[in-house]
Amino acid sequence: MSAAPPLRVLVTGASGLLGSGVARRLVESGADVVTLQRRPSGVAGARDVLGTVTDAAAVEQAMAGRDTVVHVAAKVSVSGPAQEFEQVNIGGTGTVLEAARRAGAERFIHISSPSVAHAGTSIVGEGAGPADPGRARGHYARTKAAGELLALTADSAELRVLALRPHLMWGPGDTQLTERIIDRARAGRMPLLGPAAALIDTLYSDNAVDAVVAAVTAVDRVHGEALVVTNGEPRPVGELIRGLATAGGAPEPRLRIPGGLARGAGAVIERIWEAGDLGRDGDEPPLTRFLAEQLSTAHWFDQRRTRAKLDWVPAVSIDRGLELLAAHYRRR
């Protein structure tokens, strides 16, 4: 049996936890990896192209000779002006897709989000519904929905596109969710909304990396669709927040806000943030309606199709992940 030629991969957004993790794992597996992001990726063995996905020239340059694209880059935030989201999440995706097509790439893993199909009501054991920019809540979800549709529309026999929707990723080094919860819990500012019992699926970061790497292989068999990726272990949101906070050495959050009040307050704060200067330093508003909904309604998914299609199961359980997270913070 002759060894297959090494994959030639472009990973966009490799300065983040997921992108860098995927790039690193691909390098380890022998792939030829190029990354594209504003700051150096720090991934040993990968060739960094510095730039953004909105810069067609930089994309063109990074795409040269690639047969596989893992498109992680996105504007990820729960607030901010609409235009920025559109430029990155729709325009940027379009640019990367177009470059991939022209470069003759064969595989395209598009990292999306379950919020693209979510209209604010509870999700209880459902699969991945179709992305719906018309109903998605907030700029992020709306533009990610349009971006996913763009990517899946580009799917063909020549360029096989598979969208993955990791849900609430956390783990050592995650600044989006893990770090914020721990910081706020330390400051006594992490609220629990209502009874905090809503069942939520999350994804430990190493599992997310594994799933994306599995998708790079799986995309030859399964493409043109979106798969939600989670640990398959839903937990009450209060328990997760408690677990993350204590793993980070913070006290158990005690601040409780009624869920309905939080949703209303979130909507107000969100608009103030958008209109004023408060968000300029890159900080997030303390609460958004989207976040309040996320934290007070159930979100858990049917993982059977995802696991079967990707031929992947999460290697790290939530309990084990929390232990690893605690060890990480003890070392710091």
Partner 1 sequence: MRIPAAPATLPAVSSSVPLPGWDPAWSRLVPIATVDGQRTLHVLDTGDVLAQAGVEPDGTILAVHGNPTWSYLWRSLAAATVRAALQGKGPVWRVVAPDQLDMGFSERLPHGALPRPAAAAGAPDPVSANDAGYRTLGGRLADLDALVTALGLDVQARAGHPLLTLGHDWGGVVSLGWAGRHQELVAAAMTLNTAVHHDESEPIPAPLQAALAGPLLAGSTVLTDAFLRVTTALGHPGLDSDLKAAYHAPYASPERRGGIGGFVADIPVGPQHASHPELRRVAASVADFARPALLLWGPKDPVFLDRYQADLLQRLPQADLHRFETAGHLLAEDVDIATPILRWAGQVLDGTARTRNPEGAVLTTPGDAASDVGSGTVGSGWNETTGRPLWSYLDDWRDSSAPALVDMAGDDQTPLSWNRLSCVVDAIATGLVARGVRPGDRISMMVTPGRDLTAALYAALKIGAVVVVADAGLGVAGMTRAVRAARPDWVIGKVPGLAVARSQRWPGRRLSVSTLPTPLARALGVEDSLYRMARDHEGTRFAGPRHADGTVHVPAPTDPAAILYTSGSTGPAKGVLYTHGRLAALAGLLRDVFHVRPGSSLLAGFAPFALLGPAIGATSVTPDMSVTQPATLTAQAVAEAARAGHATILFASPAALRNVVATAGQLGPEDHAALGRIDLVLSAGAPVHPKLMAQVAGLFPRAEFHSPYGMTEALLLADIDREAIIELSSRSGAPTAEGTSPDDGVCVGHPVGPVRIAIDPLQADGNPTGNLLEGLDAAGVLGEVVISAPHQKAGYDRLWLTDSLSRRDAKDGLDWHRTQDVGHLDAAGRLWIEGRLQHVAITAAGPVAPGGPEARIDAVDSVSRSAVVGIGPRGTQAVVAVVEVATTDRARPPRPGLASAELTAAVRAAAAPVSVAAVLVTDRVPVDIRHNSKIDRSRIAQWAERVLSGGKVGTP
Question: Does residue 46 contact residue 70 with C-beta atoms inside 8 Å?
Answer: no
CA distance 258 to 191: 10
Report the distance separating Cα 329 and Cα 273, nearest Å: 31
Q: Does 114 contact partner 1 by CB under 8 A? A: no
Instruction: Decide if 323 contacts 331 (C-beta within 8 A).
Output: no
* Shortest separation between residue 299's beta carbon and partner 1, angstroms: 9
Secondary structure class of 69 (helix, strand, coil): strand
CB of 250 to partner 1, least distance (A): 14
Contact flag: residue 314 with partner 1 (CB under 8 A): no
Among 38, 304, 320, 330, binds partner 1 (CB under 8 A): 304
Kindly tell me which residue out of 188, 195, 249, 264 binds partner 1, with binding defined by CB under 8 A: 195
> 293: which DSSP letter?
H
Taking CB under 8 A as the criterion, the residue among 33, 128, 198, 218 binding partner 1 is: 198
Contact (CB, 8 A) for 111 and 18: yes
Member of 239, 274, 284, 326 binding partner 1 (CB under 8 A) = 239
194 part of the interface to partner 1, by CB under 8 A? yes
Distances (CA, A) of 39 to 50, 126, 156: 6, 37, 32
Position 199 contacts partner 1 (CB under 8 A)? yes
List the structure tokens of 225: 């669709």
Q: Which of 112, 113, 138, 140 is catalytic?
A: 140
Token readout for 53 is 């996905």
Segment contacting partner 1 (CB under 8 A): 31-39, 47-55, 88-96, 295-303? Answer: 295-303
Nearer to partner 1, 108 or 301 (CB): 301
Instruction: Give the span between the Cα atoms of 272 and 123, in whole angstroms.
Output: 29
- Asked if residue 238 binds partner 1 (CB under 8 A), the reply is yes
If the CB atoms of residues 74 and 240 are measured against partner 1, the closer one turns out to be: 240
The site for partner 1, by CB under 8 A, has a size of: 29
When asked if residue 126 is in the footprint of partner 1 (CB under 8 A), the reply is yes
Say if residues 326 and 172 touch (Cβ distance below 8 Å): no
Report if residue 129 touches partner 1, rule: CB under 8 A: no
Confirm or reject binding of residue 298 to partner 1 (CB under 8 A).
yes
Measure the CA–CA gap between 12 and 23, rounded to whole angstroms: 9
Which member of 25, 110, 242, 289 binds partner 1 (CB under 8 A)? 242
Nearest to 232 by CA among 270, 265, 274, 201: 201
Active site annotation includes 204: no
Closer residue to partner 1 in complex, CB, 84/302: 302
**Angle at which helices 138-153 and 93-103 pack, to 10 degrees?**
20
Instruction: Identify whether the C-beta of residue 200 lies closer than 8 Å to the C-beta of residue 235.
Output: yes
Between 273 and 312, name the residue whose CB sits nearer to partner 1.
312
Which stretches within 154-236 are classed as H helix?
178-186, 205-218
Question: Contact between 303 and partner 1 (CB under 8 A)?
Answer: yes
Enzyme catalytic residues: 140
> What residues make contact with partner 1 under the rule CB under 8 A?
122, 124-126, 194-199, 232-236, 238-239, 242, 246, 252, 259, 296-298, 300, 302-304, 307
